[in-house]
Amino acid sequence: MAAVGLAAAVAFTGSGRRLVAADPPGPSQGPIILKNCEIKAVQTARVATDRPGVISVVDPKEGDTVKEGMPIIRLMDEVPRANWIVAKLVADDLIEVEFATEAHRVDELEYKKSVAANRQAAGTISEIELERLKLNAVKSGLQIKKATHDIAVNDMKAKESKAELDTFHILAPFDGFVSKVLKYRGEAVRQGDTILEMVNTDMVHVEGMVTDRDIWRVKRGSPVTVQLDIKGVELDIEKQVFRGKIGFVDQVATMGETRIWAEVPNPGNLLRPGFNAIMTILPDDGNAGAATKRPAPLDSKIAGRRDRQAP
């Protein structure tokens, strides 16, 4: 029985040379080089309107750079602008408060003098008349509060009109470059229609796939270097090295590979989205994820032990 077990554990070639099971390869050492990485823009926007209207102004042209908050598109806004001007005039009107304040001063003075007159000569002013004068003073005091309240309401209405007017104006969402203009002055637009497209490439993502063998050595913050890889030509720009760091490591692998991307500053906007690049990841192998020898499969261990025991 022992001979049968030994024959099952140890295999031989036709020439009688014994085959010994080899340990599977462990993780690689040194830098991880990824080819055919895709350069992607971090900030892109399809600038659209959130209301229907007719375009009055599209200020930037294709190729122009714009700053965040800069007015770039305006719809025809004559009616909402007039409504805002009227609402602002009403909100700024303080006449009612001033009139109510003065009326209250007079009513209080009249009531106090009437009370003083009765103190000097009782019955000069009847009790009913005193109550009426007192009521007038209270009423004018409440009119001050009402006028002040109306000012606050009118101020909110003016802000509402201004907010309505602002929906006819579109501002640049970030610093960037106008890559495409789709609609122009005089064209009607519906809510959600894209008018122009913007992109910012001051920072780009360089995206690639890491094999299951190496993904354990890659983590967020790992430093990387990136070089352009333009197919079919040799250019000096391909020698320039850009430095960044890993910003994302996917938690799901697909077909033995895991998607990662690095954040890479892009001075001069030389790393153009859509181009390919070579990315070199510089893992910190002194920490977790350093290469270690994987244990041999159980069958190979048994075969080796039996081989040592064989006569």
Among 22-36, 120-134, 203-217, 229-243, the minimum mean pLDDT is found in 22-36
The pTM of the full predicted model, rounded to 2 decimals, is 0.65
- pLDDT at residue 291, as a whole number: 39
Give the pLDDT score at 118: 87
pLDDT at 294: 39
Average pLDDT over residues 89-115: 91
Strands 188-189 and 53-58: antiparallel
Residue whose C-alpha is closest to residue 35's, from 284, 257, 269: 257
Residues in a beta bridge with 203: 265
Give the residue-averaged pLDDT of 282-293.
56
CA distance 300 to 10: 9
Q: Which of 39-48, 109-118, 239-248 has the lowest mean pLDDT?
A: 109-118
pLDDT of 305 > 90? The answer is no
pLDDT tens sequence across 270-279: 999 999 999 9
Distance between CA atoms of residues 67 and 198, nearest Å: 11
Given a cut of 70, is residue 231 above it in pLDDT? yes
Tokens linked to 15: 């020439």
| pLDDT tens, residue by residue, 133-190 | 899 999 989 999 999 999 999 999 999 999 999 999 999 999 999 999 999 999 999 9
Q: Could you state, in order of their start, the residue ranges of all structural domains in the chain? A: 26-43+202-292, 45-75+174-196, 81-166
Assigned fold of 45-75+174-196: OB fold (Dihydrolipoamide Acetyltransferase, E2P) (2.40.50)
Q: Give whole-number Cα distances, 172 to 60, 188, 198, 258, in Å.
A: 10, 20, 9, 35
> What pLDDT is recorded for position 286?
54
pLDDT at 19: 46
Which pLDDT belongs to residue 171?
96
**Left (φ > 0), alpha (ψ -120 to 50) or beta: where does 228 sit?**
beta
Confidence of residue 284 (pLDDT cuts 50, 70, 90): confident
Q: Which residues, 6+ apart, have CB-to-CB distance to 278 below 8 Å?
A: 33, 34, 35, 37, 226, 227, 229
Mean pLDDT, residues 227-236 taken together = 91
- Residue 25: pLDDT band by 50, 70, 90 thresholds? low
Is the pLDDT at 66 greater than 80? The verdict is yes
Q: CATH number of the domain at 26-43+202-292, out of 3.40.50.300, 3.30.429.10, 2.40.30.170, 3.40.50.2000?
A: 2.40.30.170
pLDDT at residue 24, rounded to an integer:
58
Helix (H, G, I), strand (E, B) or coil at 232: coil
- Percent of the chain having pLDDT more than 90? 71
The letter for the amino acid at 140 is S
The DSSP bridge partners found for residue 210 are 258
Residues whose CB falls within 8 Å of the CB of residue 55, separated by 6 or more in sequence, listed in order: 73, 74, 75, 76, 183, 184, 185, 186, 187, 188, 189, 195
Identify which of 89, 28, 76, 26 has the alpha carbon closest to the alpha carbon of residue 49: 76
Longest dimension (CA), the chain: 144
DSSP 111-142: HHHHHHHHHHSTTSS-HHHHHHHHHHHHHHHH
For the beta sheet containing 188-189, the strands, ordered from the edge strand earlier in sequence to the opposite edge, are: 169-171, 71-75, 53-58, 188-189
